[in-house]
Structure 1
Amino acid sequence: MDPDTWKILLEYFDYRQFLASNPPLRLACIFGGMCLMAAAIHALSPWCQRRLEAFAARKYHLEGGGSAPSGKGAGGKGADGGDGTLNAMDFAMFERVMVNLRRLLYLAILAWGAHMLRLAPAYATAIASLFSIICTITGIAFVASLVPFNLDLYMRRHGETLKTSQTRSLMPIITGIIWAVGLTFLLDNMGFHVSTIIAGLGIVGVAVGLAGQAILADFFSYIVILLDKPFRIGDHVQLAGGKAGDVEYMGPKTTHLRSLEGDLIICANSEMTRGVIVNLGSVRERPVVLEIGVAYETPMDVVRRVPDILREVVDSFPRCSFDRACMLGFGTANYRFQLLYVVRQSGIREFQLTRSAVNLAIQERLNAGHIPSAYPTTHVLLTETPQGAGPAAGAAPAPAADPGASALSLAEDEE
């Protein structure tokens, strides 16, 4: 209804006819019923809220986490445990849902009271239109608060929250879609030609899509990354082009990687979804295969103790788990041993530091046990030719040499 219609209705409102159709006793009963229902909602709402919180705490309580009824948890309303645990729900988001729900119930009470009044058809239609607008807007706000709350509740059962997840960047878009759909429904009920508006927006959308194809490609790739989750913040990934680094930021357009050298690598999201990605950050156990050479001059009793020495070195590191150590075979100048151990729950930096520490500890133990490692050497064998012995038959005469000179026969053993 347009403002002129409301102005006419208010100008020609007949109070005497209204009181004749609605006696004071009837008005008092309607008003009393509205007050009783409002008081019941006001009294029962906190009780229902506590019951819902307790139900969520029992059903979705995470192992090691805690619940904070009515948002009184550690750190304030909606705060999670400081030791990394999660509450059963985000109590601040739950409070917003309950506030919007109470508003809807109060509006329902007002709508009931207006419906019980005996009004002329024009006034009844006007009040119905007014309540339709207010209830629709309040209902949209309720749905817009309920969707992120349920999404956060689902994510908490999988060990994360909406605030700490990259999915939160999509919430403004989801909220905008909810409001757009709700307002379109409201305008259609009010008699506006919504199809014309939608057709115009479609033409604008096509023009924007053609002008920003690259941006839209990166944005939809961002949605694919959020849904498929090939990597997360903090994971160390290696791209098909050879670039590697820790994921620092994922945005609608680009993803930022921090290399081990400290360089910031900015990649388009479409490139991240198009090529092959090796995720090294999601690996919780990293095996290490190490070959060690022990010189042939080492006594056999010492050689037999090499696997035990390697086991002792690996077991001295809490993050390492020994698998096996065995002799692979014979090298050109050494016994070849193979060590296999696992580094548990570490990032790429911690893994490299742990592997380096294990290598240094192994070398220190070998040095302390006087166990030499083989290294490239050249052996020269000297052979003396007896004096007076002539050359073999048919051989070319040897060049002149000083008396007493010796012929050298060299045999090289490259290791």
Structure 2
Amino acid sequence: MSNSTAAKQPIFDAGDVGAQAQGFVNASVVWVQAYWLQILIAAAAGAAIVVVLHTARRFGRKLCNRPQALGGWGIVVGKAIGRTSNFFIVMLAAKLVAGYAATPGEVATTISFLFTVAAVFQAAVWVREIILGAIEHRTQSEHYSGEALLSAMGLIRLLVTFLVFAVALVVVLDNLGVNVTGLVAGLGVGGIAIGLAAQGIFADLFAALAIIFDRPFRRGDSISYDTASGSVEAIGLKSTRIRGIDGEERVISNKNLLDKEILNNTQRNHRRAKFVIGVTYFTPADVCARLPALLKEVVEANDKIFIRAGFTGFGASSLDFEVQFDSDGPDYASFYNGRSAVGIAILKRLNDEKIEIAFPTQVNMMAAPDGSVVMPYPDIKASSDPAATPA
């Protein structure tokens, strides 16, 4: 009989809840009557804490209007502080003064629970604002723009919001005594499924974030990768668009681009040119010895940075020399024109010095049956003698 009666008892007993509420009210009344002075002092201290926190929040909102504050990060910090909720401020003040007011167990437990909820979700808001603010600050400082960036920021905002608030919910439920093992496992399985389904998109998205934060190149930079070169026109959610040197538009996924070795030509501090000059084998040795100094004079006369010049080897039809020199800065047009000027100046100086530049030559020798060399042309002297001409 007792077992059936126990089985029929409802899971939710309104009377028990009412008794707990009545007990909470009675404990609060007794507490106020016994410690009214401490409660007043604690309330005054709590009010002061609330005022201080509100002042800090107003200061944070003012930082949003100072783009140069804290090295440009003032807006990020200001937005995070400005998103502090009134509920968190009140519960923080109550938590700080609760001990002084000798709060009873029922009231202290309620304050602790509400403070935990407020603190966890407030921390989630701060983390979200700092992450998103940092990304926005970096994209603005690097002048990234366009619909692709807006789409990327929308997706990033959704992912960050879901992640931080999912963690906050798990923490709150765990503090309530709820077994969150199944919830965590479900979130993990769901995250894995979503990650596998959209791994290509996420790979390119994280690659775009890597480009924004690591800054291997920026929009407008001239880069080279593989055998291609061009100027970066746009960095999007999934791909980067590059204007090729022949005018074509190249589109490459962010992940594939970062997997390659990228040469950022805009970040060069100089460009180097090299000429290989071959002079004939008839050039005297003393003239060859003077040639490196001569090349140096020509390079420096054209306001270029001389690196080295010297003899490099015996070619098939020439004595080979090499000269290397640098042009300041990354500008390719200036480098190109400077290289042309130096090349023409070298040619003029060699002509003035009567130093012949070799060109590929080949001599074919004819041999008689006995192995002796036969001249490939008739004897001019013999052919010009009338007496030698048969009648």
Taking structure 1 as the reference length, the TM-score comes to 0.59
Tell me which amino acid in the other structure corresponds to 1:342: D
Residue correspondence of structure 1 range 361-376 to structure 2 within 5 A: 361-364=342-345, 366-367=347-348, 370-371=351-352, 374=357
**1:237–1:245 Cα contact (<8 Å) kept:** yes
Amino acid at match of 1:190: L
Question: What residue number does 1:244 align with?
Answer: 229
Q: Work out whether residues 93 and 145 of structure 1, in 8 Å CA contact, stay in contact via their aligned partners in 2.
A: yes
2: CA distance, partners of 1:248 / 1:353? 22
Structure 2 CA distance, aligned partners of 1:266 and 1:192? 50
Q: 1:260 to 1:313 in 2, by over 3 A?
A: farther
Q: Do structure 1's residue 133 and structure 2's residue 122 form an aligned pair?
A: no
> What's 1:31 paired with?
43
In the alignment, which residue of structure 2 is the partner of 1:58?
none
Counterpart in 2 of 1:387? 386
**Paired letter, 1:35:** A
- Whether 1:187 and 2:173 are equivalent positions in the alignment is yes
Hey, what does 1:92 align to over in structure 2? Answer: 75
Q: Deviations over 1:279-320 (max 9, x none)?
A: 2535544432212356789999998876555434533566x4
Deviation at residue 261 of structure 1 after TM alignment: 2.0
Moved more, 111-120 or 203-212: 111-120
Task: Map Cα deviations across residues 104-127 of structure 1 (whole Å, 9 max, x no partner).
Answer: 666421333456667776555444
2:171 is aligned with what amino acid? F
CA, structure 1 residues 175+207, in 2 after alignment: closer, same or farther (shift >3 Å)?
closer
- Between the aligned partners of 2:249 and 2:84, the Cα distance in structure 1 is 46
Q: Is the 8 A contact 1:313 1:358 kept in 2?
A: no
Conserved 8 A contact 2:205-2:237: yes
Separation of aligned partners in 1, 2:41 and 2:232: 65
Partner Cα distance (1:196, 1:273) in 2 = 38
1:264 match: 249
Q: Which runs of 5+ in 2 are unaligned?
A: 1-11, 364-375
Kept after mapping to 2: 8 A contact 1:41/1:102: no
SS in 1 for 2:273: strand
Residue type of the alignment partner of 1:138? Q
User: Shift of residue 322 of structure 1?
Assistant: 0.8
- Tell me by how many angstroms 1:194 deviates: 3.4
In the aligned structure 2, how far is the partner of 1:8 from the partner of 1:142?
A: 38
Change (3 A) 1:107 1:248: farther
What are the residue-to-residue correspondences of 1:140-289 with 2, within 5 Å? 140-145=124-129, 163-164=140-141, 172=157, 173=159, 176-192=162-178, 194-219=180-205, 231-233=216-218, 234=221, 236-239=223-226, 242-272=227-257, 276-281=260-265, 283-289=268-274
Q: Amino acid of the residue matched to residue 91 of structure 1?
A: G
Change in Cα spacing, 1:214 to 1:131, as seen in structure 2 (3 Å) is closer
> How much does 1:272 deviate?
3.3
Alignment of 1:312-331 (within 5 A): 312-315=297-300, 320-328=304-312
- For 2:7, the equivalent position in structure 1 comes to none
Is 1:79 matched up with 2:65?
no
1:77-112 deviation per Cα after TM superposition (whole angstroms, max 9, x unaligned): 2338xxxxxx64622223345556897666421333
**What is the number of residues matched between the two proteins?**
342
Are the counterparts in 2 of residues 284 and 344 from structure 1 also a CA contact under 8 Å? Answer: yes
* Structure 1 residues 339 and 37: alpha-carbon distance in aligned structure 2, compared to 1, 3 A threshold: same
Cα RMSD (Å): 5.3
TM-score normalised by structure 2 residue count: 0.62
Q: Does 1:21 align with 2:31?
A: yes
Are residues 299 and 367 of structure 1, via their aligned partners in 2, closer, same or farther at CA, if it must alter by over 3 Å? farther
Q: Which moved more, 1:168-177 or 1:196-205?
A: 168-177
Structure 1, residues 360-401: CA drift from partner, whole Å, max 9, x if none?
A: 34315644885376476999989341233379xxxxxxxxxx
**Structure-1 separation of matches of 2:258 and 2:174:** 40
Higher helix share: 2
Query: What residue number does 2:322 align with?
Result: 338
Please give the alpha-carbon distance, in whole angstroms, between the structure 1 residues aligned to 2:106 and 2:328: 75
Mapped partners of 1:30, 1:200: distance in 2:
44
For residues 91-130 of structure 1, what are the structure 2 equivalents within 5 Å?
91-99=74-82, 107-113=91-97, 125-130=109-114
What is aligned with 1:156?
Answer: none
